Structure 1
């Protein structure tokens, strides 16, 4: 009986130490966006790391600048910064969007009403409303700027934009 109690105590201590020494869980930046009422696809898959400061400043680090496509082409700098609050990224730096032939800096991104299915991008000269469904999944980011549409396998070619 004494041997059984000492084994149980040893097992309990081992389990306690293994839980206390295990690394803490840190959410991905995409999970942080979702928890703040924003879609995960506002930032690309290729995020290396991020810092969320106590005052809400968010700094997102990518390995290199890259291009992705939502409704239009977008360019991410190697560092993207913004003030994160529920439903918004305000004062965005490091993200630009192509409109016609111009690259315009995205200033703010806001989801005022999640039930509306709309997200608003402030690009300085205009407010652009887009469907939230465009941002459900983080996009693949291409460092060389060539954004390709899905391959037409039946014809054996790729369309480029």
Structure 2
């Protein structure tokens, strides 16, 4: 029978290994969660640092920086804040905060996104614009360097 002085370190090693493996389990990314609700991952830019999804569909997504980018297919300029919140259910993002679109020279908050068939409808109050979901297959990249910060300030 092995002595306790030899089995205890082995037991502690196995316990530590088990805990490390269970803590590093592959939880889905924010992009995978979006896809699970019927949205293409590209409606969210690269750079998600963390997210929280509540049982009632309430969510919070944190980006590494404020992000401003132009959607090539539409020409619209979008602004994502560091913190994006709302409620999600299949095919619907509601009560959105933290995402804006520039129309003419004014920024408007996008408060809802709805998927209908292969199109996405983006709502700014009662107004909406639709685009094929295929336009959002890839997550756009944001530059979080000083250029991004300067652009954000000068466009405000």
Normalising by the smaller structure, the TM-score range is: 0.7 to 0.9
Which of 84, 107, 111 lines up with 1:80 in the alignment? 84
What SS does the aligned partner of 1:51 have?
strand
Distance 1:125 1:53 in 2: 27
Deviation at 1:17, TM superposition (A): 8.3
What 5-or-longer segments of structure 1 have no aligned partner?
1-13, 147-161
1:44/1:68 contact within 8 Å kept: no
Q: Report deviation, 1:55.
A: 1.2
Q: Normalising by structure 1, what TM-score?
A: 0.73
Shift of 1:16: 10
- Structure 2 CA distance for aligned equivalents of residues 121 and 24 of structure 1: 34
- Tell me which residue corresponds to 1:131: 132
Q: Given the superposition, is the C-alpha separation of residues 127 and 104 from structure 1 closer, same or farther in structure 2, using an over 3 Å criterion?
A: same
Matched, 1:28 2:9: no
Say whether the 8 Å CA contact 1:69–1:139 is kept in structure 2.
Answer: no
Instruction: Look up the match of 1:38.
Output: 39
Greater helix share, structure number: 2
How far did 1:69 drift?
2.1
Moved over 4 A (4+): 14-21
Matches within 5 A, 1:95-114: 95-113=99-117
- Give the secondary-structure state (helix, strand or coil) at the position aligned to 2:33: helix
Report how many residues are paired: 131
Change (3 A) 1:17 1:64: closer
The structure having more radius of gyration, on CA atoms, is 1
Report the Cα distance in structure 2 between the residues aligned to 1:87 and 1:16, rounded to whole angstroms: 42
- Find the aligned partners of 1:127 and 1:101 in 2 and give their Cα distance: 18
Return the TM-score normalized by structure 2: 0.75
2-structure distance, mates of 1:80, 1:17:
36
